[in-house]
Amino acid sequence: MNRERGVVSWTWLIVLLIGVSVCWAASPNEERHYYYRGRPILSMLANRMVASSVVLPVYGNVYPRGFYHVHVNVGQPEKPYFLDPDTGSDLTWLQCDAPCVRCTQAPHPLYKPSNDLVPCEDPLCISLQPDDHKCESLDQCDYEVEYADGGSSYGVLVRDFVPLNFTNGARHSPRLAIGCGYDQIPGSSYHPLDGVLGLGKGKASIVSQLHNQGLTRNVIGHCLSGRGGGYIFFGDGVYNPSRTAWTPMSRDYSKYYSPGPAELLFGGKATGIRNLVVIFDSGSSYTYFASQPYQALISMLRKELMGTSLRDAADDETLPLCWKGKKPFNSIRDVKKYFKPLALSFGNGGRAATRFEIAPESYLIISLQGNACLGILNGTEIGLQNYNIIGDISMQDKMVIYDNEKQMIGWGPANCDRLPKGKAAAS
């Protein structure tokens, strides 16, 4: 999930089998829904729809708000919810009145769950469980999601309608598996939203479910504007693959969107820092380097700033490292000349390396005090071990694409202030 003010922002999904099964009875007036768990019967319709896409506007920013959200409608009649778009986890869940044991402040009333429970032996449920799990109740799927900041959601899987506008002009309401979260513990970087939109690689992710129903390709992407807002998309109909730099997803880290090991470049030159395990995570507002490359980066930045007018701003607690000038800065443009661009260079199995450029605008913020603060943090200090997380700040003003069918990650510069021309957005 997106995290605020540089607190832990990486969201790997840990799903545990819950020993005690929790059920609720349908009210006498509540209709019981039945769901066909195969592909669409009309193969011609599936073939026609598979080329379509969904575009969802994104709201928020890295700073000062600290997180992004998308607007998703769920249910019949449909009701709105604000969800955190997270490529670091699979499960989509809503705070849920089942009833709710512990729920945090949210912008909308709690989700009223359908009574279409996902059985424990359903493949979607199995994909969220440990390998050695055993079903305590065959009728339902219990889940627990734990995030790196200590937050968690406990609940059950249900199926419900998720109305979406497609870019071919059609509107469909697929029945998707989502989590009814009736017990939430807020983490250290909590922010008030209705739940999480899981965009990971697993079977339970929204895009995987849409693909399995023949509605989109198994491709997701996002375009986050440095001025705030942007959009996410499902499917491959909103970008030109020939104008995108591509690199294969790592087979060694197959659960996450990882291009594998990278070399860090500073000012276009090699630093000798290699074999960085990199993971792209839209659920993280900031970027995190493991301790060794982080300390090396700090040393290089300090060396470059010697002899300039910039000084450490120890009294600014916005982020761990900030610099002040002779007068407050108004924008990154005021300090850009002092900072060199970074890049991560990914090998392509013997082919020419692909670079992910990180300009000063993609690793600095201007605090409310008018100081320049480093938006790359020490991930080892917060338990991320030797992983390096590329967060929202470093993906701004780029279209980043995760093609789960071709097992490729792509990116390229983009205008993220406007939705793709001629494409429909979900209401």
Catalytic annotation present for 281: yes
Residue 384 has a CB neighbour count (10 Å cut-off) of 23
Count of positions (residues) in the chain = 427
Beta bridge partners of 355: 345
Q: Are strands 276-280 and 387-390 parallel, antiparallel or unpaired?
A: parallel
Among 281, 392, 397, 403, which one carries the catalytic annotation? 281
Among 86, 142, 160, 194, which one carries the catalytic annotation? 86
Distance CA 371, CA 316 (A): 8
Catalytic annotation present for 86: yes
DSSP for residue 275: -
Distance CA 260, CA 93 (A): 29
Cβ contact 376:363 at 8 Å = yes
Furthest-apart CA atoms within the chain: distance in Å: 75
Burial of 186 (0-12, 13-18, 19+ CB in 10 A): middle
* Tokens 């916005």 -> residue: 318
Cβ contact 88:281 at 8 Å = yes
Catalytic residues: 86, 281
